[in-house]
Amino acid sequence: MAEKRRKFDRKFKEDAILASYRGRTLKDIAKEIGVLPCALSRWRREYEKYGSASFLGPGYARVHPKDKKRFELSKECKESELRYEILKDGSSYLFQNKLTIYEFIKNNEKKYSIKEMCNVLEIGLRGYFKWKKHGISERRKNIIALKKDIASIYFLHKKRYGKTKITRELQALGYAIKESTVSFYMKELGLRRITARKFKKTTDSNHNNYVPKNILNGIFKTDSPSKVWVSDITYIQTDRGFLYLTIIMDLYDRKIIGWSCSSTMQTRATTLPAFEMAVNNRKIKEGLIFHSDRGVQYANESFSGKLELYGCTRSMSRKGTHWDNAVCESFFSSLKKELIYRIKLLPHMQLKAEIFNFIENWYNKKRRHSSLDYQTIEEFNAIQIKSEDAPLGINENHQLTI
């Protein structure tokens, strides 16, 4: 059986070295303390080189005290370089889910220290080893899939949707989920709906034309198409001046049935072409209420005569009360939040194309409206048609509120 190797502590070695400097030979001292002369000679060389930093044991750097500060600075520099390298390689994973970061750490175990990677990427060491051993739980997989769908819906709709509409989209995909849960994960993902800005008033009510009463009186609901149309004008800045957008909305389904973009505020370029488009898109019923603000584009003889020709009943907001036409204000707010404030200043023709796409392909077809119980206009109208065709005794009631 091999002889067990003896171990000597730090104090024993230092005492042996000090004794070797007192005039006696290394051989005599080694024999006296029971070690080999070569071992005592090795201890002396180490002590002469590292002084009090000798014999610290494994895991400690052997550095002479006078070189300690330089050594520590060099060590910090190397550690900083290592952290920088990890950050450089792992920066694209920092704001992704933990699973992705775990995969990065696993793929780089041979290149970097696991502990250092977890520290730099702010990942728990225990969590990483637990994932490495057992994989990811079903619950975690479901959360990751949910977050992915939330982000997908958010960017698909160009950052226009908040928690309520994203919740409705998820429910349409089959998720049984609450708004509070969607809100929590949106905050985790850093997703926020585009906010609104104030915009300039375009109404010019300083005229001598007749101003009818506010027949609508803030009742923004109706039970069938072409009972109430509402209209308004707003301005949009372009790279050269302003573009004026006139819209006509049917209160029944909130659809924009007529609109016009122009570089002037003249009636022939604003309200008249928008009304002609509305008439072509939706048949006017007898007694249709046409509501607008008091702007000269609506009050002048040219436009009021057009409304009388079609037998429309005129209604105008009270002076200085923009809430009397709140549904149009709401549309313009959505337009500016969801489109205008997201793009740079564009030429007239390019901006007109963007507005066309927003109204015809997005707002009228795909956007979910709170006033329609978060249905799209197409979904709402399909349900109404189905309800009308249903046999007697089946009642599908859908009431509109602002």
- 80 plus 172 within the same structural domain: no
Closest CA to 352 of 249, 269, 232, 261: 261
Task: Kindly give the confidence (pLDDT) of every residue in the chain, 402 residues in length, as a single tens digit, with 9 standing for 90 and above.
Answer: 455 667 777 777 777 777 777 777 777 777 777 777 787 778 777 777 776 666 666 655 665 566 666 656 666 676 677 677 777 776 666 666 677 788 888 888 888 888 888 887 778 888 888 888 777 677 877 887 888 888 888 877 777 788 888 888 888 888 888 888 888 888 877 777 765 444 444 555 566 678 899 999 888 889 899 999 999 999 888 877 788 999 999 999 999 999 999 988 899 999 999 999 999 999 998 889 999 998 899 999 999 999 999 999 999 998 877 788 889 988 998 888 888 887 777 788 888 999 999 999 999 999 988 888 889 999 999 888 776 665 544 344 433 332
Q: Do the domain assignments include residue 335?
A: yes
- 84 plus 41 within the same structural domain: no
Q: Do the domain assignments include residue 203?
A: no
Q: Which residues contact 215 (CB under 8 A, 6 or more apart)?
A: 289, 291, 313, 314, 315
Query: Residue 303's pLDDT is what?
Result: 93
- 380 plus 279 within the same structural domain: yes
Query: Residue 271's pLDDT is what?
Result: 94
Q: What is the DSSP string of 143-182?
A: HHHHHHHHHHHHHHTTT---HHHHHHHHHHTT----HHHH
Enclosing domain of residue 151: 138-189
- 109 plus 182 within the same structural domain: no
Q: Do the domain assignments include residue 327?
A: yes
Q: Do the domain assignments include residue 394?
A: no
- 283 plus 151 within the same structural domain: no
Place of tokens 């309200």: 271
Number of domains the chain is built from = 4
Query: For the domain that residue 46 is a member of, what is the CATH number?
Result: 1.10.10
Distances (CA, A) of 120 to 54, 80, 93, 137, 226: 33, 11, 12, 25, 63
Q: Do the domain assignments include residue 2?
A: no
- 111 plus 173 within the same structural domain: no
Query: For the domain that residue 353 is a member of, what is the CATH number?
Result: 3.30.420.10
Q: Which residues contact 175 (CB under 8 A, 6 or more apart)?
A: 146, 149
- 383 plus 247 within the same structural domain: yes
- 30 plus 80 within the same structural domain: no
Query: Residue 53's pLDDT is what?
Result: 65
Q: Do the domain assignments include residue 206?
A: no
Q: Do the domain assignments include residue 392?
A: no
> What is the β-pairing status of strands 242-250 and 255-262?
antiparallel
Residue 378 to residue 364: CA distance in whole angstroms: 8
- 127 plus 144 within the same structural domain: no
Query: Residue 395's pLDDT is what?
Result: 43
Q: Do the domain assignments include residue 253?
A: yes
The SS3 assignment for 197 reads coil
Work out whether the CA dihedral 36, 41, 42, 44 comes out positive or negative: positive
Predicted TM-score (pTM) of the model is: 0.54
Helices 138-156 and 179-189 pack at an angle, to 10 degrees, of: 80
Last residue of a domain, one of 44, 62, 80: 62
Residue 122 to residue 314: CA distance in whole angstroms: 65
- 277 plus 331 within the same structural domain: yes
- Given a contact cutoff of 8 angstroms between Cβ atoms, the answer to whether 105 and 128 are in contact is yes
- 55 plus 73 within the same structural domain: no
Residue 153 to residue 137: CA distance in whole angstroms: 25
- 73 plus 178 within the same structural domain: no
Query: Residue 399's pLDDT is what?
Result: 38
